[in-house]
Amino acid sequence: MSDRPLRLLGVADLRSLNVIRWGRRLAELGHEVHLVGNRMNERAEEREGLNLYDVTTLEPLTRVPGLRRARFGPAIAALADRLDIDLVHGHYMLPYGYWASQAGRHPFVLSPWSRDVFIDAHERRQGRKRAQAAIQAADYFVVNSQACAKASVELGADPSRMQEIIWYAETDRFGVHNRDANFRRARGWPDDALIVLSLRNFRPYTYVDVLVEAFARVAGDVPNARLLLCARGGPERPRIERLIEELGIGDRVRIERAEIEDLPTYVASADMAVTIADSDSTPASLTEAMASRLPVVAAPTWSMDEWLEDGNGAEIVPVKDVDATARAIAKLLADPELRARYGGRNERVVREKLPQPGPLLESLYRELVATHQTQRAA
């Protein structure tokens, strides 16, 4: 096909930082990017260059609770027709990939992410049924880890129609050069404060509560330790705030929302990162921390062993283990040479393993669109 800009439609959570990054990558390459989902993003700076649509307002029936989910697929199909879309990409298999599959548009690319393929597709009969429907409808799969690929194949995905592209990784924006010398002072912290950073949202499976309890155990022995919880939201925040107050560490902990443009400074200004969720597949927070030369405390969930090794870049701790998490944090805080060695290794690994994803996506999309056009002509 010609090299004209593609018209792309992503079906996704419009507030997701990963989804915004997908759209930006392709818009920067000159493509026309549209996104449709049920959680509108109202931040003008994140919407810039992208066209967003609320799936619940696409037609009268999508506004009616109880009826609308059956209409999401046809409504997305009508939107794709109206926009003359070349390719549909469903981000996160349930529910967005399933909704995209019900639109019946091709080429259709599906991206399972993590909990959707590892857990949600197996928890309920309906979840597995919808996951398999999405997989059967997909023309191609873009995954973000070997673990994700394996789980997708177990659900019926064709491994010959699959590519690993970590489209949301913006390691080119992250690095030690973003470190802010005034970062600590601006928060009323001493210049020698050692910052433990979490970039995970406040959700049950990210176990930020475990991190808070572990930090409380360390804080008494490390007076200059500080905990910075950066998240874009999540239902667990009120409980986390209460826990911080109950533990009496409010003067040592800050909760801040780090926006896209500020994230490189937040990460580079920290001393270590903690990510102890019980289900993950190459989380952005991990690649960003590694690119910023941070050592990591991590739980041994899916795909972590593709990036980290215990004693080589990270301290690996059991999920939900407060004692082990506290010991790992204390070990890294007490040893600057170990932090530097782990951090240097992590930066080297992530830069070696992550090519720029925009051109990879563009090449794949053009190939799929051209193949689809040839098949239709035949």
Cβ pair 6, 34 in contact under 8 A: no
- Rounded to the nearest 10°, the torsion over CA 37, 40, 45, 46 is -30
Q: Output the CATH code of domain 7-168+355-377.
A: 3.40.50.2000
Per-residue pLDDT tens for 187-245? 999 999 999 999 999 999 999 999 999 999 999 999 999 999 998 888 999 999 999 99
The H-assigned helical ranges of 187-236 are 208-219
DSSP label at 6? P
Query: Rounded to whole angstroms, how far apart are CA atoms 31 and 340?
Result: 40
Count of residues for the chain? 378
Q: 17 exposed, middle or buried (CB, 10 Å; 0-12, 13-18, 19+)?
A: buried
Whether the per-residue pLDDT at 1 is higher than 60: the answer is no
Q: Output the CATH code of domain 176-353.
A: 3.40.50.2000
The winner for highest mean pLDDT among 31-35, 38-42, 165-169 is: 31-35
What mean pLDDT is predicted for residues 325-346? 98
Cis status of the peptide bond prior to 107, with omega within 30 of 0: yes
Q: What is the pLDDT of residue 67?
A: 85
Cβ pair 231, 237 in contact under 8 A: yes
Average pLDDT taken over every residue of the chain: 95
For 303-363, the DSSP string reads: TGGGT-EETBEEEE--TT-HHHHHHHHHHHHT-HHHHHHHHHHHHHHHHHH---HHHHHHH
Cis status of the peptide bond prior to 235, with omega within 30 of 0: no
Among all chains, which residue has been given the structure tokens 């992590």? 346
Query: Rounded to whole angstroms, how far apart are CA atoms 102 and 129?
Result: 13
- Rounded to the nearest 10°, the torsion over CA 238, 244, 248, 253 is -120
- The percent of residues above 70 in pLDDT, for the chain, comes to 99
Per-residue pLDDT tens for 91-118? 999 999 999 999 999 999 999 998 899 9
Residues of the chain with CATH 3.40.50.2000: 7-168+355-377, 176-353
Cβ pair 271, 338 in contact under 8 A: no
Q: What is the pLDDT of residue 260?
A: 84
Q: What is the pLDDT of residue 2?
A: 67
Model confidence, pTM: 0.91
Query: Rounded to whole angstroms, how far apart are CA atoms 3 and 369?
Result: 11
What is the sign of the dihedral through the CA atoms of 306, 309, 312 and 315?
A: positive
Measured CA distances, 153 to 61, 65, 136, 161, 249 (Å): 35, 34, 11, 10, 46
